[in-house]
Structures are given as structure tokens and as C-alpha cells.
Amino acid sequence: MDKNAKEFFLLFKFYKLIVISLLINSLFIPFVLIARYNILINLGYNFVALIYGTWEAVPFLLISKRFFKKQKKIRAGIFFLEIGTFLNSSNCIFLYSLLYVQSFDTSIRQQEMIYFLGFYFYPIISILLIIIALTFFIENKRKDFKKVIADYKTQINLRKLEQEMRRKSLENAFIDIDLLNSLNSRDKKVNKEDFLKSLNKERKILDTLFDSGNYDEILNKFREIYTISKYLECKDDLEWLNRKIKLFQNISIKKTILELAIKFDRLELSEIAEKSIFKNESLIENVIKDMINNKEIYADYYESTNSLLFDKETNMEEIDKLMHTFQKWEKSTEKKLF
């Protein structure tokens, strides 16, 4: 989250917390205590006392929250927050005026009305609300929260879209349509408990396939397990499979990039996606950046054009080494640490 957006949400959460404390305050630290009445009447009396000084904050807070949810009305939300704050805080004068008048009322004295900490705690809360409202006002002038929140929501929507595209990409790569159709038509019957019990065995098979570097068999096994788990709705039990899939994706994309790097000086993201099993360009972009950071390839990635430019002279020796490592990995029968 952008630090300015984070500041906005923290300020608003803190404001809500203080407003809620106005109500909770009357339960635990009463404004008044009338000894001859029972506890329920005491609580009722304390909430009536809240009307003197807290009711404005709540409706204005709710109105502000409604405006904040609308991307184009952040300023209006802050404006209503400020009105509610200053109306609420101005009631301090009324409260203490009331206290002063009651001091001359003999009937109130006879009831032994005692003012507790809650009554005196109210102005402290009011001052805090004023400080937060002023901070909202000043920071909004400096940073334009309307634009900040709009940008933040755009980023969130892009992230959700990216996650959805990644999910669809996974399904395209790992859903076996024929197997799924067989399961849906009941031609092939699978019991959920039996499937979950068999996963230990499937996990060992996958480990063996990874050790041998058998890409085709790995992909087929992934498709079988992933398709059945989706049909049985038990993907939550397959965190290990998701980790293996991620590892397999990275290895496969890296291998594709290295093979293309031998032939070309410059690659477009779409060209890598076309040659790779995995078509998600966002995933491929992340792998490229990791390879550059880890110095697995010597290249520059240009986000403006989504292109990868290799340093051919420096790169050839490194690529040869990595390709040799991949070939050795594919043929080796020794245990590999992936």
C-alpha cells in the first residue's frame, strides 16, 4: 500500500476508534452515578448524558464513511468529518455550563449526583478528534487524498485482475479438460478421502520426476492432481503442490528464456510467452527480473516496451554454463535440492 494511502486509512481508523470510545466510555467510566437506582437505570442515564456531547460525531462519521467509499467524494467525506468534529467538540462548553448550573440546584445535590472520570475525559477525546480532523484537512491540502485513494484503488483493481489472470493461466496450463469432463459425467469416480490419502504417494512420484528432469511427465502428473483437486474442491490441502507448480513454472520459463537467448539478441515478452508453456506475461516478467538480479543472464529489461535486451558477449559464456546445468539436471538421477 502506498504510504500516503496508508496514512489516510490509519487516520480514519483512529478517528473511528475515538468515536467508539465515546460510547464505550459511558459503560465503564460513567458520566454520572445515582446511588438509589439500579445498574440498568445508571447505564440508561449515562447514555442519555451522551446526547449532551457526543451524538453529532456518530452520524457525521457514518456520512463521511459513505463518501470515502466513493472514489470521487474523498474531499466531501473529509469536510463532513470536520463539521461533525467541531460540532461535537463545541458541546464541551455546554457540558461544563450544565455542570455549573447543576451546582446551584439543591434537588440534584439531594440525589447525591457524582461526576466521575467519564465526564472530564470527554474534552480530551474532543481535543484528539480536533487534532485528527485538522491533520486530515492539512494532509489533504498537501497530498490530495482524492488522487491518492484513486491511485491506490486502481492498484488494488490491477492486482485483483492480475490474480484472476494468473488463476486462469494456471487452469489453462494444468486443467485436463478430458479428465474433468469424465469426472463431471461420472465416467470416472474419485472419492475425496481416498484422493487425499493417495497424495503422499503422488508427492513421492513428483519428487522422483523432478529428480529425473522429466518435464512431460511432471506436467501430466500436475494436470491429473490439479484437475481432481479442483473437482473435489480440496485445493486448500495442496499447498505443497502449489509450491511445486511455482517451482516448475520458474524452471520452465527460465529454460525457455535461455534457449531463446542463444538465438536472439532481443526478445519481446509476447515472444517468450508464445514459446513457453505458461502464457502469463506478468509471471514471465517476474522471472526475467529475478534472473537479471541473480545474474543468471546479463540483460536489460525495458518495461516501457516489454522487451529484453541481452549483453551478447558477456552472456554467451553464462548461458552455456546454465544450459549445461539444465541438461545435466534433465539427465541426472541424483537427488536435487529444489
Q: What is the pLDDT of residue 258?
A: 83
> Looking at the domain assignment, is residue 316 inside a domain?
no
Q: What is the pLDDT of residue 65?
A: 75
> Looking at the domain assignment, is residue 129 inside a domain?
yes
DSSP letters spanning 212-273: HT-HHHHHHHHHHHHHHHHHHT-GGG-HHHHHHHHHHHHHHHHHHHHHHHHH-SEEEHHHHH
Q: What is the pLDDT of residue 336?
A: 39
Q: Report if pTM > 0.85.
A: no
Range of the domain at 8: 3-146
Distances (CA, A) of 156 to 13, 72, 144: 19, 16, 19
> Looking at the domain assignment, is residue 218 inside a domain?
no
Q: What is the pLDDT of residue 295?
A: 80
What one-character DSSP code corresponds to residue 279? -
Q: What is the mean pLDDT of the segment spanning 204-214?
A: 77
- Name the residue among 261, 249, 263, 251 with its Cα closest to residue 308: 261
In the chain, what percentage of residues exceed pLDDT 90?
Answer: 0
Residue 135 has pLDDT above 50, yes or no: yes
Q: What is the mean pLDDT of the segment spanning 14-39?
A: 61
Residue 337 has pLDDT above 50, yes or no: no
> Looking at the domain assignment, is residue 257 inside a domain?
no
> Looking at the domain assignment, is residue 300 inside a domain?
no
> Looking at the domain assignment, is residue 283 inside a domain?
no
> Looking at the domain assignment, is residue 88 inside a domain?
yes
Higher-confidence residue of 283 and 43: namely: 283
Residue 33 has pLDDT above 60, yes or no: no
CB proximity list for 290: less than 8 A, separation 6 or greater? 250, 296
Q: What is the mean pLDDT of the segment spanning 323-338?
A: 51
Determine whether 84 is exposed, middle or buried from the number of CB atoms within 10 Å of its CB (0-12, 13-18, 19+): buried
Task: Kindly report which listed range (2-11, 18-27, 327-336) carries the lowest average pLDDT score.
Answer: 327-336
How confident is the model over 89-117, as pLDDT tens digits? 666 666 666 666 656 655 555 444 445 55
> Looking at the domain assignment, is residue 188 inside a domain?
no
Q: What is the mean pLDDT of the segment spanning 188-213?
A: 77
* H-run or E-run covering 57: helix 57-69
Q: What is the pLDDT of residue 187?
A: 64
Task: Kindly report which listed range (99-113, 192-206, 249-263) carries the lowest average pLDDT score.
Answer: 99-113
Q: What is the pLDDT of residue 60?
A: 74
Q: What is the pLDDT of residue 218?
A: 80
Q: What is the pLDDT of residue 302?
A: 86
Most confident of 114-123, 281-290, 311-320: 281-290
Q: What is the pLDDT of residue 83?
A: 74
Most confident of 57-71, 150-164, 165-179, 247-261: 247-261
Q: What is the pLDDT of residue 329?
A: 57
| Overall domain count for the chain | 1
Q: What is the pLDDT of residue 217?
A: 80
Higher-confidence residue of 31 and 282: namely: 282
Higher-confidence residue of 173 and 303: namely: 303
CA dist 44 and 67 (Å) reads 32
Average pLDDT value over all residues in the chain: 70
Q: What is the pLDDT of residue 44?
A: 64
Residue 167 has pLDDT above 50, yes or no: yes
Residue 151 has pLDDT above 60, yes or no: yes
Query: How many CA atoms, within 13 angstroms, populate the side-chain half-sphere of residue 34?
Result: 16
Residue 118 has pLDDT above 80, yes or no: no
326, 207 Cβ separation under 8 angstroms = no
Question: Residue length, the chain?
Answer: 338
CA dist 176 and 196 (Å) reads 19
CA dist 123 and 125 (Å) reads 5
Q: What is the pLDDT of residue 291?
A: 87
